[in-house]
Amino acid sequence: MYTNFIVGIVFLAIGIALAATRMRHSDYNKTINIVGVVVILIAVVKILFSFIRIVPAGTVGVVDLFGQVIPQARHSGLNIVNPFANIIVMNIKTEEEQESMNVPSQEGLSIDLDTSILFKVSPEKAAEIYRTVGMNYREIIVQPQFRSACRGISANYEAKALYTSGREEIAQKIFSELEGMLASRGIILEKVLLRSIQLPATVSKAIEMKLKAEQESEQMKFVLTKEKQEAERKVIEAEGIAKAQEIINKTLSQAYLQHEAIQAQMRMADSPNHTTVYIPSGDNGIPMVRVLDDGKSGK
């Protein structure tokens, strides 16, 4: 601040006066001269420090010299400026603006919209914002244009779109419109977030019932498709069985049947717990078999 510079000048004048003092007693002169030198050193330090300003991280410093704003803002860190200039620190970190507003839908319904945006001040435009708007740029620039963009976009969509998957599209439309409006004033828009949408109770219930009916319809379509596929599978299976039986019937012969019967009887005969008795066959020439229990089975 310039007060440090003024104090430094005063100290410097006092120090010079003390250092130049000459009295009758030399011991007095020496002591006063030493005090004067010390005061001069303190004054020089204060004057030098009055030229140095520290701008915190995440901010820029706007230089205001007697009402004249310097176009180039000072970046964070140590800066050498005119000691009579005032440094206004402006935040350039990401900020959030939350809004809960009542917006219209395409059908004329009133919808409670809870939304927010992420934005920040452009470092290159910080001096211009301070000069033309001031430090209350949120109330003057961001909030009114944010509300205007939300109401303008929501009026082009039905309530159902706000309530369902159309939310992302609406958020993108708000972003596109608001981005240009804020950029012209030195504000960088980062993201638009639709946190909550509250429809009138009757409308909300009607939409939920409609969505439920649509889901049930889609589920029924899936069930019907599955049943149709299952029916087609059974038809194909039956056709395969019929085809196999047709082929078997064409290839069966009396000799093949006799062979299979004999093989089955031989397997039964190999059992250690049974006695096999062959009985002459009838007209078909296939021998019949009767298995007798030999009593070793425990019965």
With beta carbons less than 8 A apart as the criterion, state whether 101 and 152 touch.
Answer: no
With beta carbons less than 8 A apart as the criterion, state whether 62 and 73 touch.
Answer: yes
* Residue 297, pLDDT score: 45
Residue among 9, 13, 31, 29 nearest 21 (CA): 29
With beta carbons less than 8 A apart as the criterion, state whether 33 and 21 touch.
Answer: yes
Q: What angle do CA 176, 95, 152 make, to 5 degrees?
A: 30
* Residue 191, pLDDT score: 92
* Residue 251, pLDDT score: 67
Helix axis angle for 26-49 and 2-19, nearest 10°, is 160
* Residue 23, pLDDT score: 56
Domains of the chain: 2-90 (no CATH), 95-199 (3.30.479.30), 255-293 (no CATH)
Give the pairing type, strands 77-80 and 52-55. antiparallel
Query: How far is CA 134 from its chain centroid?
Result: 33
* Residue 298, pLDDT score: 43
With beta carbons less than 8 A apart as the criterion, state whether 200 and 110 touch.
Answer: yes
Instruction: Walk along the chain (299 residues) and give the pLDDT tens digit of each residue.
Output: 567 667 777 777 877 777 766 655 556 667 777 777 788 888 788 878 778 888 999 999 999 988 889 988 999 888 888 888 889 999 999 999 988 888 887 877 778 888 899 999 999 999 999 999 989 999 999 999 999 888 888 888 877 776 666 678 888 888 999 998 899 999 999 999 888 777 766 666 766 677 777 778 888 888 888 888 888 888 888 887 777 777 767 666 666 666 666 776 666 666 665 555 555 555 555 555 555 555 444 44
| Burial class of residue 33 (count of CB atoms within 10 Å of its CB; 0-12, 13-18, 19+) | middle
With helix as H, strand as E and coil as C, how does the chain read? CHHHHHHHHHHHHHHHHHHCCCCCCHHHHHHHHHHHHHHHHHHHHHHHHCCEEEECCCEEEEEEECCEECCCCECCEEEECCCCCEEEEEECCCEEEEEEEEEECCCCCEEEEEEEEEEEECHHHHHHHHHHCCCCHHHHHHHHHHHHHHHHHHCCCCHHHHHCCCHHHHHHHHHHHHHHHHHCCCEEEEEEEEEEEECCHHHHHHHHHHHHHHHHHHHHHHHHHHHHHHHHHHHHHHHHHHHHHHHHHHHCCHHHHHHHHHHHHHHHHCCCCEEEEEECCCCCCCCEEEEEECCCCCC
* Residue 214, pLDDT score: 77
* Residue 257, pLDDT score: 64
With helix as H, strand as E and coil as C, how does 131-184 read? HHCCCCHHHHHHHHHHHHHHHHHHCCCCHHHHHCCCHHHHHHHHHHHHHHHHHC
